[in-house]
Amino acid sequence: MSSNTMQINFVLNHEKVQAVIETHHTVLDVLRNTFSLYGARESCGQGLCGCCTVIVDGKSVSGCLYLAAALDGCTVQTVESLDAGGSLHPIQQAFIDCGAFQCGFCTSGFLLMSKQLLESNPDPSEAEIRNHLSGNLCRCAAYPEIIQAVRLAASRINTAQQEA
Ligand code: FES
Ligand code: FES
């Protein structure tokens, strides 16, 4: 291992993994090039659009800027974890049902941020949804449908919990 490489060990979508990385590699580099996870995407490359969002130890980070070296010992969640078990997460289904995307380039970031919101606030107001998703940009301007989808997902999750 050269002086600018290191091994990192972390939990990725519920599995313990390890990778040898270069110290300048970003999270996005490692997810895409080492683990073939392509859901998080690079758009602005400057931490401004949310297309590269991943969740690290429960907090959303910009995968285009966050250094992979900082993942050592962390728990990482990407959009690929949402349909674990073969069925869509209620947030994914709501995005489909509401037509909350056009090109879909921004969608993985919106899905992860929406899931994070509903885990901490199961019944958010429209203002709370807008505020939580304010760091995510959609060039196709599907914002009304995205808000609608988050509200639909919240309602379905809450109904399912009441019936359980
Ligand atoms: S690509 Fe990372 S924030 Fe835009
Ligand atoms: S659906 Fe195209 S950028 Fe959001």
Q: What is the pLDDT of residues 52-100, one digit of tens each?
A: 999 999 999 999 999 999 999 999 999 999 987 789 999 999 999 999 9
Residue type, 129: I
Rounded distance, CA 7 to CA 19, Å? Answer: 6
Residue 49: per-residue pLDDT: 98
Across the chain, mean pLDDT equals 96
pLDDT digits (tens, 9 = 90+) for 91-105: 999 999 999 999 999
Residue 43 beta carbon below 6 angstroms from any ligand 1 atom = yes
DSSP state letters, 34-95: TS---SS--SSSSSSS-TTEEEETTEEEETTTSBGGGGTT-EEE-GGGTTTTSS--HHHHHH
The confidence band for 2, taking pLDDT boundaries of 50, 70 and 90, is confident
pLDDT tier at 144 (50, 70, 90 boundaries)? very high
- % of the chain surpassing 90 pLDDT: 93
Distance of alpha carbon 56 from alpha carbon 90, whole angstroms: 21
Rounded CA-CA distance 54/125 in Å is 24
Domains of the chain, each with CATH number or no CATH: 5-79 (3.10.20.30), 90-163 (1.10.150.120)
Reading the block at residue 25, the tokens are 């590699």
Contact criterion met (CB below 8 Å) for 52 and 42:
yes
Does residue 119 carry a pLDDT above 80?
yes
Confidence category of residue 6, pLDDT binned at 50, 70, 90: very high
101 CA → ligand 2 middle, Å: 5
Q: Which atom of ligand 2 is nearest to the CA of 140?
A: 2
Q: Give the model's pLDDT for residue 142.
A: 96
Structural contact between residues 56 and 46, judged by C-beta atoms closer than 8 angstroms = no
Phi, psi of 90 (to 5 degrees): -50, -30
| Residue 47, Ramachandran bin (φ over 0: left; ψ between -120 and 50: alpha; else beta) | left
Contact 111, 57 (CB under 8 A): no
> Residues with Cβ within 6 A of ligand 2?
101-106, 138-140, 142
